[in-house]
Amino acid sequence: MPVSYPSRLSRHAQQLLSLTDGLIQSGCTLEDNWWETQLTSQLDKTLAGRHNRTVENVLEVLASHNPQGHDLFIEKAENASETHSFEHEGQAYDALLISAPIILWTRYQLPSNELTDAQHQVLCQALADLVAAPHARVSMLPVMLNIDTLPQTFFDTRSLTRQLAMAALTGEHVSFADDQPVDNDGILADTRFLVGVIVVPRGKTVFRWQMPPAKGSYRRHQVQQGWESAAREVLTAMFTGCQAQYLCPDAYYTNNREADHHIRPVVLLAAVTWLQTAAHVPSKDLRAVIVGCGTDTLQEYRVGFNIRGNDDVVYGCIWPLLNKDEALVEALDNFGPTIPDEITAVLKEAGVSEVRRMPGLMECDICDGCGAPYFPDLTGDLQHPELPDETDTDPIVLH
């Protein structure tokens, strides 16, 4: 049955919704291919226009009116913005936007996002020599990004892909205007993203692990090891006092989601380490309480910390659910490992002696005054966290 959408939408948005519906209702591969071609073409036209949020508006409509269409459309939108097929000086090229996330955590102060010219050049060369296919050309932004400075719309992502693709062929410098300088105060764990592009002749392989055995066999784990070694050599001094985990460069959206998965346990480890040093609390005296929170359905787990002998919540961490599949698995009673089991394992490994899991679903309450989220106490009630008076909250700056 056709889906009814709001009438007050732009012409481009209506066309994108119509094409998405056509693809969903398609009954064979031949028809699928036709609808996909039409949808991709319309996405290209939309993203090539003036700065706009048309794609985001379509996703909002699909989220509330057509969840199946939402999942399909977001995949097509991501592909349209992180790839670029174009011609330059008579040669046809394909470009792929990539990211190389670095998961950082510390008990001190996280470093800035700036790269020196020398660091930038060495990392670009490592991307070309170790990750990209031998026939590829690469370019990379001269600064690390974090979640707040990554492109915020599909239009912005597409624009960055095109800029970097042309820079890979011409050698031009790509500047990055950071209108929101990163404030690292109070942040114990964060993800930094090296963002670049790999450009190849049309139809050629993009990554080194795609090479056929006759030309040298590479595997993804070998590429990962080589990249991590090279990146550590360049950035270790910059990350003094930090633990760093380097993910293998890969397609932009895929790797950004992968980084979201990796940062969650790191946030917990950073919190326990910081409470040990700043609040002078041995991990064996820390107790943690886990509660599920959400409106109608589970959206996140909140972990409240308190100190043995004191029931007040002193600190808290949020473990967000990253997709509908995670929420579905948590809702099913399949007797398998759950996210609270994973959280408990991380906390136990960090030395927390007691971890409690509270049943039920709580609201995602926040403080009306400061906007801070509330976290569970030993009874499962959500409280505003209050650090002990003797806590040294001034970060130690090493960079």
Q: Quick one: 247 exposed, middle or buried, by C-beta within 10 A (0-12, 13-18, 19+)?
A: buried
Average pLDDT over residues 155-169: 96
The string of pLDDT tens digits covering residues 261-293 is: 999 999 999 999 989 888 888 888 999 999 999
Q: With DSSP H G I counted as helix, E B as strand and the rest as coil, what are the percentages for the chain, rounded to 5?
A: 40, 20, 35
CA 119, chain centre distance (Å) = 23
Cα angle value 26/68/261 (rounded, 5°): 130
Q: Where are the domains of the chain?
A: 11-81, 89-262, 279-383
Average pLDDT over residues 97-103: 98
Average pLDDT over residues 374-383: 93
Average pLDDT over residues 249-270: 96
State the pLDDT at residue 290: 96
Distances (CA, A) of 232 to 71, 225, 242: 36, 11, 12
The set of residues, in sequence order, having a beta carbon less than 8 Å from that of 292 and lying 6+ positions away, is 298, 300, 301, 330, 358, 360, 361, 362
State the pLDDT at residue 186: 63
Average pLDDT, the chain: 90
Is 72:158 a contact under the CB 8 Å cutoff? Answer: no
pLDDT classification of 173: cutoffs 50, 70, 90: confident
Nearest to 32 by CA among 19, 45, 44, 48: 19
Residues paired with 319 in a beta bridge:
301
Tokens of 171: 């050698």
CA 142, chain centre distance (Å) = 20
Average pLDDT over residues 171-198: 78
User: What 8-state DSSP symbol labels residue 245?
Assistant: E
Which span out of 12-16, 196-200, 271-275, 365-369 was modeled with the highest average pLDDT?
196-200
The string of pLDDT tens digits covering residues 104-126 is: 998 777 888 889 999 999 999 99
State the pLDDT at residue 80: 96
Residue 183 has pLDDT above 50, yes or no: yes
State the pLDDT at residue 278: 81
Report d(CA 354, CA 377) in Å as an integer.
Answer: 13
Lowest-pLDDT range of 174-183, 225-234, 375-384: 174-183
The string of pLDDT tens digits covering residues 220-238 is: 899 999 999 999 999 999 9
State the pLDDT at residue 399: 45
Output the CA torsion 310→313→316→320 (10° steps): 120
Tokens of 205: 């392989």
- The percentage of the chain sitting over the pLDDT mark of 90, rounded to a whole number, equals 69
Lowest-pLDDT range of 17-21, 92-96, 289-293, 370-374: 370-374
Average pLDDT over residues 26-51: 93
The string of pLDDT tens digits covering residues 41-50 is: 999 999 988 8
pLDDT classification of 398: cutoffs 50, 70, 90: very low
Give the torsion sign (CA, 215, 221, 225, 227): positive
State the pLDDT at residue 172: 87
Residue 397 has pLDDT above 60, yes or no: no
Spatial strand order in the sheet of 286-293:
315-320, 300-307, 286-293, 354-362
Radius of gyration of the chain (CA): 24
pLDDT classification of 188: cutoffs 50, 70, 90: confident
State the pLDDT at residue 310: 84
Lowest-pLDDT range of 272-276, 303-307, 326-330, 344-348: 326-330
Report d(CA 192, CA 160) in Å as an integer.
Answer: 17
The set of residues, in sequence order, having a beta carbon less than 8 Å from that of 288 and lying 6+ positions away, is 303, 304, 305, 347, 352, 354, 355, 356
Residue 51 has pLDDT above 90, yes or no: no
State the pLDDT at residue 393: 61
Give the pTM. Answer: 0.90
Is 150:193 a contact under the CB 8 Å cutoff? Answer: yes
Average pLDDT over residues 134-150: 95
Report d(CA 242, CA 239) in Å as an integer.
Answer: 5
The set of residues, in sequence order, having a beta carbon less than 8 Å from that of 371 and lying 6+ positions away, is none
